Amino acid sequence: MNMTRALAAFALLAGCFVLHAYDFITARPIRWRPGDIPMDLQLDATMPPRVLLDGKSSWNSVADEALAIWNAQLSQVQFTTFTGTTRRDGNDKNEVFFSSNVYGHGFGASVLAITTVWRIGPERVEGDTIFNDTLDWDSYRGPFDFTLDLRRVAIHEFGHTLGLDHPDQAGQVMIAVMNSAISDLDTLAQDDIHGGRALYPPNASYTLNVEISPPGSGVVAATPAPDVNGKYPAGSIVTFTARPSRRNAFKFWSGDEIRSGRRLQVRVVDDATIIANFSTNGAPRILLQPRSQFTSFANSVVLRVRGASASPVSYQWQFNGADLPGETAPELFLNFLTHADSGLYSCRVTNTRGSTFSKPARLVVDGY
């Protein structure tokens, strides 16, 4: 059998952190066989234990808690732990330890930890996690304070162990501990949980609720149809096809899926709302869509939209579906940002024939 290895790294990025959802390490997802994933915790053997900011006195106990956070969201597989003495690449053991190098190779600039990815075809067979012992480690909750929190980094690395990659590096702007840069987020976000369910679907069924905006402007067909209870088994792939009514045009999908194109494929991982957005043929066209962005606390961002129409247009920005008073220009300036400013921003562009909404742009401030 051909056994291959790759690396997944977590980096510390200074300053600003450089739309669909979770991402997999490989285009064809790699998974563990159903059952236990034994993790060999050797952190205490490779870094002297001390009393940490969260009250723990063992590095291994921090890692064990990170594994338990994932276990609470998994059904087909479960992490288990033991303590061994070997540390060797490619030995069919999942070893977790501190080191100044990765089996003789340097970590690279600003790399906090690395998880190896051993697989045979689509089957995951080994994953060692090595934390960079030249850095200042502790364990705490809340905002990132430039002392490294082992628990949040371990949660991230054990996501790689499961088969997840960095959604931000796949062009997605999502709240996720699996993003490639450390942030104020210190536990799993919904996107991380959805990624785990996509790899290891639970024995559950979920509802995909379809809405038409505005009502009566089109219809949506779903293939396959849901069961008699209106639900789909977790892990199912459902294809939605939008058909505009007379004198209307399809624009985009929104809700829990922000996409273009009249056909939308959805992997079922949770209850979700799918919105098919149409507009009348004479309504404005959107020539410039606002762009989703990551940013940092107290920073400023500008969101821009541009509509085109034979008649004059007006603009109204919205935040999470509610009008923002006074924000009626093509540009939306957001200053001194906090976590509360994270969310979806869109703009309603109106002329005498009707209105067209821009695609929602997601803003994520310091990981939230």
DSSP letters for 194-223: HHHHHHS--S-EE-EEEEEESTTSEEEEEE
What are φ and ψ of residue 140, in 5° steps? -160, 170
Q: Are residues 238 and 326 part of one domain?
A: no
pLDDT given at position 28: 80
Among candidates 61, 83, 52, 66, which has minimal Cα distance to 157? Answer: 66
352 vs 256: CA distance, rounded Å:
30
pLDDT band at 99 (very low <50, low <70, confident <90, very high): very high
Tens of pLDDT, residue by residue over 119-155, are 999 999 999 999 999 999 999 999 998 899 999 999 9
The range of the structural domain enclosing residue 189 comes to: 4-199
Q: Are residues 210 and 178 part of one domain?
A: no
Q: Are residues 239 and 125 part of one domain?
A: no
Q: Please indicate whether residue 338 or residue 5 has the higher confidence score (pLDDT).
A: 338
Q: Are residues 67 and 136 part of one domain?
A: yes
Q: Are residues 224 and 102 part of one domain?
A: no
Q: Are residues 342 and 307 part of one domain?
A: yes
Last residue of a domain, one of 199, 216, 244: 199
pLDDT of residue 11 exceeding 70: no
Q: Are residues 242 and 184 part of one domain?
A: no
Q: Are residues 143 and 94 part of one domain?
A: yes
pLDDT of residue 351 exceeding 70: yes
Last residue of a domain, one of 223, 251, 280: 280
Average pLDDT of 98-122?
92
Helices (H), 72-182: 150-162
Q: How many domains does the chain have?
A: 3
Average pLDDT of 318-343?
97
pLDDT band at 5 (very low <50, low <70, confident <90, very high): low
256 vs 75: CA distance, rounded Å:
23
Last residue of a domain, one of 199, 230, 252: 199
Tens of pLDDT, residue by residue over 12-59, are 433 222 223 466 666 688 999 999 999 999 999 999 999 999 999 999
SS3 176: coil
Q: Are residues 295 and 192 part of one domain?
A: no
Q: Are residues 174 and 38 part of one domain?
A: yes
Tens of pLDDT, residue by residue over 152-190, are 999 999 999 999 999 999 889 999 999 998 999 999 999
CATH classification at residue 334: 2.60.40.10
Q: Are residues 158 and 193 part of one domain?
A: yes
CATH classification at residue 100: 3.40.390.10
181 vs 14: CA distance, rounded Å:
9
Average pLDDT of 213-223?
96
pLDDT given at position 145: 87
Q: Are residues 113 and 260 part of one domain?
A: no
Length of the chain: 368
Distances in Å between the Cα of 355 and the Cα atoms of 95, 259, 273, 327 are 57, 19, 22, 16
